[in-house]
Protein backbone atom coordinates (compact mmCIF):
# COMPACT_ATOMS: atom_id res chain seq x y z
CA UNK A 1 0.00 0.00 0.00
CA UNK A 2 2.82 2.37 0.88
CA UNK A 3 4.46 1.76 -2.48
CA UNK A 4 1.23 2.65 -4.32
CA UNK A 5 0.91 5.95 -2.43
CA UNK A 6 4.57 6.75 -3.12
CA UNK A 7 4.10 5.95 -6.81
CA UNK A 8 0.99 8.21 -7.02
CA UNK A 9 2.90 11.07 -5.37
CA UNK A 10 5.75 10.62 -7.86
CA UNK A 11 3.30 10.80 -10.80
CA UNK A 12 1.66 13.93 -9.34
CA UNK A 13 5.05 15.63 -8.94
CA UNK A 14 6.07 14.85 -12.51
CA UNK A 15 2.69 15.91 -13.93
CA UNK A 16 2.77 19.25 -12.07
CA UNK A 17 5.98 20.26 -13.76
CA UNK A 18 7.69 23.59 -13.34
CA UNK A 19 5.62 26.73 -13.90
CA UNK A 20 7.58 29.28 -15.85
CA UNK A 21 6.71 32.94 -15.45
CA UNK A 22 7.22 35.02 -18.54
CA UNK A 23 7.77 38.77 -18.52
CA UNK A 24 4.72 40.87 -19.45
CA UNK A 25 4.24 41.29 -23.16
CA UNK A 26 3.21 44.70 -24.51
CA UNK A 27 -0.16 44.67 -26.26
CA UNK A 28 -2.91 46.96 -27.42
CA UNK A 29 -6.47 46.44 -28.62
CA UNK A 30 -9.48 48.52 -29.53
CA UNK A 31 -13.04 48.02 -30.68
CA UNK A 32 -15.94 50.27 -31.59
CA UNK A 33 -19.49 48.98 -32.04
CA UNK A 34 -22.78 50.75 -32.82
CA UNK A 35 -26.00 48.73 -32.74
CA UNK A 36 -29.25 49.18 -34.65
CA UNK A 37 -30.68 51.42 -31.90
CA UNK A 38 -27.81 53.93 -32.09
CA UNK A 39 -26.05 52.77 -28.92
CA UNK A 40 -22.27 53.00 -29.26
CA UNK A 41 -19.79 51.07 -27.12
CA UNK A 42 -16.05 51.46 -27.60
CA UNK A 43 -12.94 50.42 -25.68
CA UNK A 44 -9.21 50.70 -26.17
CA UNK A 45 -6.37 49.51 -23.96
CA UNK A 46 -2.61 49.13 -24.18
CA UNK A 47 0.00 47.66 -21.86
CA UNK A 48 3.77 48.08 -21.77
CA UNK A 49 6.65 45.82 -20.75
CA UNK A 50 6.25 46.94 -17.11
CA UNK A 51 2.66 45.62 -17.08
CA UNK A 52 1.22 49.14 -16.82
CA UNK A 53 -2.12 49.54 -18.60
CA UNK A 54 -3.71 52.65 -20.04
CA UNK A 55 -7.15 52.64 -21.58
CA UNK A 56 -10.63 54.02 -21.88
CA UNK A 57 -14.13 52.90 -22.68
CA UNK A 58 -17.09 54.90 -23.92
CA UNK A 59 -20.84 54.38 -23.89
CA UNK A 60 -23.29 56.63 -25.71
CA UNK A 61 -26.90 56.12 -26.68
CA UNK A 62 -29.21 57.60 -29.29
CA UNK A 63 -30.64 60.18 -26.88
CA UNK A 64 -27.20 61.76 -26.38
CA UNK A 65 -26.27 60.34 -22.98
CA UNK A 66 -22.56 59.53 -22.82
CA UNK A 67 -20.07 58.13 -20.34
CA UNK A 68 -16.31 57.92 -20.91
CA UNK A 69 -13.98 56.28 -18.41
CA UNK A 70 -10.24 56.84 -18.79
CA UNK A 71 -8.04 54.68 -16.61
CA UNK A 72 -4.49 53.69 -15.77
CA UNK A 73 -3.41 50.60 -13.88
CA UNK A 74 0.19 50.27 -12.76
CA UNK A 75 2.26 49.46 -9.68
CA UNK A 76 0.62 52.35 -7.78
CA UNK A 77 -2.90 51.00 -8.35
CA UNK A 78 -5.95 51.66 -10.49
CA UNK A 79 -6.88 55.28 -11.24
CA UNK A 80 -9.96 56.33 -13.20
CA UNK A 81 -11.56 59.51 -14.47
CA UNK A 82 -15.22 59.50 -15.50
CA UNK A 83 -16.71 62.08 -17.86
CA UNK A 84 -20.49 61.90 -18.21
CA UNK A 85 -23.64 63.85 -18.92
CA UNK A 86 -26.01 61.30 -17.41
CA UNK A 87 -29.00 62.87 -15.61
CA UNK A 88 -28.73 62.79 -11.84
CA UNK A 89 -24.92 62.84 -11.73
CA UNK A 90 -22.72 65.60 -10.41
CA UNK A 91 -19.00 66.23 -10.30
CA UNK A 92 -17.46 64.47 -7.30
CA UNK A 93 -14.52 62.38 -6.11
CA UNK A 94 -15.83 59.14 -4.54
CA UNK A 95 -13.27 56.43 -3.82
CA UNK A 96 -10.45 58.37 -5.52
CA UNK A 97 -12.30 58.45 -8.85
CA UNK A 98 -12.68 61.83 -10.51
CA UNK A 99 -16.24 62.21 -11.81
CA UNK A 100 -16.76 65.18 -14.13
CA UNK A 101 -20.45 65.59 -14.89
CA UNK A 102 -21.89 68.01 -17.41
CA UNK A 103 -25.46 66.88 -16.75
CA UNK A 104 -28.11 69.57 -17.00
CA UNK A 105 -29.99 69.90 -13.76
CA UNK A 106 -33.73 69.75 -14.08
CA UNK A 107 -36.03 72.46 -12.78
CA UNK A 108 -36.32 72.88 -9.04
CA UNK A 109 -39.29 71.09 -7.51
CA UNK A 110 -42.36 73.26 -7.11
CA UNK A 111 -44.27 73.23 -3.84
CA UNK A 112 -47.97 72.84 -4.52
CA UNK A 113 -50.49 73.75 -1.86
CA UNK A 114 -53.36 71.37 -1.31
CA UNK A 115 -56.65 72.60 -2.74
CA UNK A 116 -59.44 72.94 -0.20
CA UNK A 117 -62.59 71.29 -1.53
CA UNK A 118 -65.69 73.45 -1.94
CA UNK A 119 -68.26 73.01 0.82
CA UNK A 120 -70.96 70.49 -0.01
CA UNK A 121 -74.57 71.20 0.96
CA UNK A 122 -76.05 68.29 2.86
CA UNK A 123 -79.83 67.96 3.07
CA UNK A 124 -81.12 66.35 6.24
CA UNK A 125 -83.27 63.26 5.84
CA UNK A 126 -85.88 62.72 8.53
CA UNK A 127 -87.16 59.29 9.39
CA UNK A 128 -90.89 58.76 9.03
CA UNK A 129 -92.82 55.81 10.39
CA UNK A 130 -93.61 52.98 8.01
CA UNK A 131 -97.15 51.65 8.26
CA UNK A 132 -97.90 48.12 7.11
CA UNK A 133 -101.43 46.87 6.87
CA UNK A 134 -101.74 43.24 7.85
CA UNK A 135 -104.86 41.30 6.89
CA UNK A 136 -105.64 37.88 8.24
CA UNK A 137 -106.59 35.47 5.49
CA UNK A 138 -107.36 31.80 5.63
CA UNK A 139 -104.65 29.47 4.48
CA UNK A 140 -105.80 26.93 1.95
CA UNK A 141 -103.75 23.89 1.14
CA UNK A 142 -104.72 21.95 -1.93
CA UNK A 143 -103.58 18.38 -1.77
CA UNK A 144 -103.69 16.49 -5.02
CA UNK A 145 -101.45 13.86 -6.41
CA UNK A 146 -100.25 13.69 -9.94
CA UNK A 147 -101.38 10.54 -11.75
CA UNK A 148 -98.66 7.97 -12.09
CA UNK A 149 -98.84 5.21 -14.61
CA UNK A 150 -96.44 2.43 -15.27
CA UNK A 151 -96.28 0.47 -18.43
CA UNK A 152 -94.17 -2.43 -19.37
CA UNK A 153 -93.42 -3.00 -22.97
CA UNK A 154 -94.60 -0.64 -25.66
CA UNK A 155 -95.98 2.76 -25.02
CA UNK A 156 -99.70 3.23 -25.33
CA UNK A 157 -100.80 4.95 -28.44
CA UNK A 158 -103.42 7.59 -28.22
pLDDT greater at residue 152 or residue 67:
67
Cα-Cα-Cα-Cα dihedral of 151, 152, 154, 158, to 10°? -10
Mean pLDDT is highest, among 78-87, 102-111, 120-129, for: 78-87
CA distances to 7, 66, 73 from 102, rounded to whole Å, are 68, 10, 26
Contact 58, 45 (CB under 8 A): no
pLDDT greater at residue 10 or residue 85:
85
In Å, how far from its chain's centre is CA 89?
A: 20
Which of 82, 38, 84, 83 has its CA nearest to residue 61? 38
Instruction: Say if residue 16's pLDDT is above 90.
Output: no
Q: Averaged over 74-94, what is the pLDDT?
A: 91
Amino acid sequence: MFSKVLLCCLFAFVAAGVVEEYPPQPYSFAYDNTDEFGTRIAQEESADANNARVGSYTYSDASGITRTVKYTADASGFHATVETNEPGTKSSNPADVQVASSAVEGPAPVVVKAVQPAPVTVHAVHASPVVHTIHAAPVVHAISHAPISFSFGQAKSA
